[in-house]
């Protein structure tokens, strides 16, 4: 795939009818960026944290000497908790105990992007950043979900690892950390388009 990037300038024209006859020289301003599809990869991934929460994700990467990637991971639980937080014992900041059903849920989401660099012909490293959360939620007796602050992390994320290239197939190993307080270990398998 070729991407044409350029700019052009033309002399001032007094009459609008003369726009069709403006001489334009693109020889100094046109640049061609060759984005070769054989360097674009898609990877399906599995991740798990130190809390043993499984996540599933996808990475799309362009890997040449320098390139880039985007990764999204989730456990597909998007239930919205109440804006009410408790600790692991079920007690809120006012010292009141919540009436809990005993059921728990975990919601996970991570979206990151960054740069790739080819160290060896068959090995790339990557690093990037983004936003992630892990929310542990306790269910109340009436079915509402409360966030457990002790075991929940949310905010900026740092992501790094390596991708090994075996012709059309790839293997990825990486770590994603949210505020350096929660580690998410990721492995992935990919295929070159």
Contact indicator for 47, 55 with CB cutoff of 8 Å: yes
User: CB neighbours (10 Å) of residue 57?
Assistant: 23
For the chain, helix, strand, coil in percent to 5 are 5, 65, 30
Question: Mind listing the domains of the chain with CATH numbers?
Answer: 38-192 (2.40.160.20)
Contact indicator for 66, 73 with CB cutoff of 8 Å: no
Mean model confidence pLDDT for the chain:
83
pLDDT, tens digit (0-9, with 9 covering 90-100), for 142-165: 888 999 988 899 999 999 999 998
* pTM score of the predicted model: 0.73
Contact indicator for 183, 120 with CB cutoff of 8 Å: no
């Amino acid at each position: 795939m070729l991407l044409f990037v350029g700019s052009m300038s033309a002399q001032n024209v007094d009459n609008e009818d003369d726009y069709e006859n403006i001489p334009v020289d693109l020889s100094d301003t046109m640049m061609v960026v060759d984005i070769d599809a054989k360097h674009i990869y898609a990877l399906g991934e599995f991740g798990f944290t130190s809390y043993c929460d499984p996540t599933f994700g996808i990475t799309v990467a362009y890997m040449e000497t320098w390139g880039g990637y985007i990764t999204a991971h989730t456990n597909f639980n998007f239930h919205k908790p109440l804006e009410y937080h408790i600790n692991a014992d079920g007690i809120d900041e006012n010292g009141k105990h919540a009436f809990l059903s005993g059921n728990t849920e975990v919601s996970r989401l991570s979206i990151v992007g960054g740069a790739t660099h080819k160290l060896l012909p068959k090995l790339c490293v990557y690093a990037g950043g983004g936003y992630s959360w892990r929310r542990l939620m306790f269910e109340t007796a009436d079915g509402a979900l409360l966030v457990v602050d002790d075991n929940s992390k949310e905010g900026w994320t740092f992501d790094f690892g390596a991708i090994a290239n075996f012709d059309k197939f790839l293997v990825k190993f990486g770590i994603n950390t949210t505020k350096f307080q929660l580690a998410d270990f990721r492995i992935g398998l990919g295929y070159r388009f």
